[in-house]
A and B are shown apart, each in its own frame.
Chain A
């Protein structure tokens, strides 16, 4: 049994999977997961998220590097490892019996005692709003019901790590929120979760840390806030003044902002600029605010309202992917990413 640092339930080092000589779905993936932590795996289609989940759940043997899950090497852990994890696969997996029977049958397969299985099935049916679908067979369920059912079914047995591969696809906002809240509660109880999604807002809400994969490589690993801070990109600042801004001052401000890397936003063609409002975009918008206030004071203007567009994970994600794609251009595609491609001190460390 492989040793793991205290508190870590999963650790990978240079993990990779090659589906053909020289062609990698995942490469040089080093990350870790703490007990009770929720780790989000983000990336574009084909970034390697599902391949990573499949390697970590022993469904796919890695072709390079190591992965230790709950103290077991994924190559040799086999049943001992799998009996301590839960997996909700991306593909719909269903048995041809009613929803209720599916739940109890799955629990039976995992060796959950009959009475306990019944109790859990009731809990899951209520929690995942499957009451109306209880006696229906899978083909009679809507896409959202099937997905809810699939997550509910996996929660019929005990586990220490739950792998969820896009579990909220096709779910409405209410159902999604409900599931995320439940997962958050379970994580507080010590369940560790690896979660892949394309819905960046839910990753922001749920995940303690986020790993961004691009073309099979880890390009960032940090908290959502840190990623937003670092890669949030240009954001819009809107300022409303109590009095009118003369054309000369507007021109002067535009030039000053330009020197600071910001761009004054012009109104659409044919619309005159509002007399007391202006907007600009800047990479580090917050850092410009004190200067802007001072500039207004110097010119005898009072600021009525000043707002900065909130940084979103989507903005950060787009920024990271954009940077990665730029870096990819001209590369052969098989070299490991440069060390500075990862945030300093975040090369998969749990810290």
Chain B
């Protein structure tokens, strides 16, 4: 039986671009962060700062939110490499539509980040025990990570569709990654002592919404702001996906460096 084209492309994306080392680094880096950074900072950071929990318990939901960046980067890079090695053109000359290729990238992103969510929770369990996730909480975590992944994937795909230089693409991607992660509440909370300008930037960062919503889901204590955050993420994801579609429509095939 022939799989639908989108699923064939997803299988191809995983088979051709995700080798064991890439997967290990993508999941291993945040996992090591939980183990090392969590353990070390738990000994020096007061639980008053992290809302009454250990630093590791604060960090694990942050690393779960981090998976939306990981998933986004995976498909952004995958698309870039396909362009660089003319596989985009080769695929478009075959029995596939551009929309299917884009759909395949988004599905790859979702699968990768959702698997990442599972891995982060598994790594965190020995340190913080099972999170108090209700069924609604699980849905909230998955929806948050899925929307966040689509947002970052859309952003990087749109970027990758317009650039013709690997240096430019990877420099912007690295800068964006650094900026988004360090100016969010993944590693540290915004407190009353946070400078106002930084706090404003933190709250403009979608990763902050995601991390805070996932923390609330882990603690099974939803607030109205979590649903608002989800709504904003949905809007941002739609906008980024729209940008990716525009990027595909205006995509110039041909050699890039």
CB B104 to nearest CB in A, in angstroms, measures: 10
Q: Which B1-59 residues have a C-beta within 8 angstroms of A?
A: 2-3, 8-9, 11-12, 15-17, 19
B15 touches A93 (CB 8 A): no
CB B84 to nearest CB in A, in angstroms, measures: 10
Contact with B along A85-129 (1 / 0, CB 8 A): 101010111111100011001001111000000000000000000
Q: Which A42-74 residues have a C-beta within 8 angstroms of B?
A: 54, 57-60
Q: State which of B17, B85, B95 has its C-beta within 8 Å of the C-beta of A79.
A: B95
A214 beta carbon closer than 8 Å to chain B? no
Of the listed residues B17, B90, B91, B255, the one surrounded by the most CB atoms of chain A closer than 10 A to its CB is B90
Of the listed residues B91, B93, B255, the one surrounded by the most CB atoms of chain A closer than 10 A to its CB is B93
| Distance, CA A87 to CA B94, complexed state (A) | 8
CB B110 to nearest CB in A, in angstroms, measures: 20
CB B245 to nearest CB in A, in angstroms, measures: 17
B97 touches A97 (CB 8 A): no
| Distance, CA A285 to CA B232, complexed state (A) | 81
Which applies to chain A's interface (DSSP): helix, strand, loop or mixed? loop
B93 touches A110 (CB 8 A): no
Q: State which of B86, B97, B253 has its C-beta within 8 Å of the C-beta of A92.
A: B86
Q: State which of B2, B3, B8, B97 has its C-beta within 8 Å of the C-beta of A78.
A: B97
| Distance, CA A94 to CA B17, complexed state (A) | 11
A111 touches B90 (CB 8 A): no
B19 touches A59 (CB 8 A): no
Q: Which A231-288 residues have a C-beta within 8 angstroms of B?
A: none
B95 touches A82 (CB 8 A): yes
Query: Number of A interface residues, CB 8 Å?
Result: 26
Contact with A along B82-102 (1 / 0, CB 8 A): 000111011111111100000
Contact with A along B238-257 (1 / 0, CB 8 A): 00000000000000011100
A83 beta carbon closer than 8 Å to chain B? yes
B12 touches A109 (CB 8 A): yes
Of the listed residues A87, A95, A111, the one surrounded by the most CB atoms of chain B closer than 10 A to its CB is A95
CB B101 to nearest CB in A, in angstroms, measures: 11
| Distance, CA A109 to CA B90, complexed state (A) | 11
B91 nearest in chain A by CB position: A109
Size bracket, chain B contacts: 20 to 34
A96 touches B86 (CB 8 A): no
B9 touches A109 (CB 8 A): yes
B89 touches A91 (CB 8 A): yes
A94 touches B253 (CB 8 A): no
A85 nearest in chain B by CB position: B93
CB B193 to nearest CB in A, in angstroms, measures: 48
B86 touches A89 (CB 8 A): yes
A93 touches B87 (CB 8 A): yes
Q: State which of A89, A101, A111 has its C-beta within 8 Å of the C-beta of B93.
A: A89
| Distance, CA A108 to CA B92, complexed state (A) | 15
A92 touches B16 (CB 8 A): no
Given A105-B16, A108-B11: A93 touches B85 (CB 8 Å cut-off):
yes
B94 touches A94 (CB 8 A): no
B95 touches A58 (CB 8 A): no
A59 touches B92 (CB 8 A): yes
CB A117 to nearest CB in B, in angstroms, measures: 12
Given A59-B253, A110-B94: A93 touches B16 (CB 8 Å cut-off):
no
B87 nearest in chain A by CB position: A93
Q: State which of B16, B85, B90 has its C-beta within 8 Å of the C-beta of A87.
A: B90
Q: State which of A60, A79, A85, A96 has its C-beta within 8 Å of the C-beta of B16.
A: A96
A94 touches B85 (CB 8 A): yes
Given A59-B253, A108-B12: A93 touches B94 (CB 8 Å cut-off):
no
Q: For residue A102, which residues in chain B have a CB less than 8 angstroms away from its CB?
A: 16
Contact with A along B119-131 (1 / 0, CB 8 A): 0000000000000
CB B255 to nearest CB in A, in angstroms, measures: 6
CB A105 to nearest CB in B, in angstroms, measures: 6
Q: For residue A59, which residues in chain B have a CB less than 8 angstroms away from its CB?
A: 89, 92-93, 253
Q: State which of B15, B95, B254, B255 has its C-beta within 8 Å of the C-beta of A110.
A: B95
Given A96-B17, A109-B8, A111-B2: A89 touches B89 (CB 8 Å cut-off):
yes
Q: For residue B19, which residues in chain A have a CB less than 8 angstroms away from its CB?
A: 96
Q: State which of A78, A92, A110 has its C-beta within 8 Å of the C-beta of B85.
A: A92
B11 touches A58 (CB 8 A): no
- A and B contact pairs by CB, cutoff 8 A, 9 listed: A59-B89, A59-B92, A79-B96, A83-B95, A89-B89, A93-B87, A95-B16, A109-B9, A111-B8
| Residues of B near any A CB (own CB < 8 A) | 2-3, 8-9, 11-12, 15-17, 19, 81, 85-87, 89-97, 253-255
Task: Give me the 10 closest cross-chain CB pairs, A-B, nearest first.
Answer: A93-B86, A95-B16, A83-B95, A93-B90, A91-B86, A87-B93, A111-B2, A94-B85, A93-B87, A57-B93
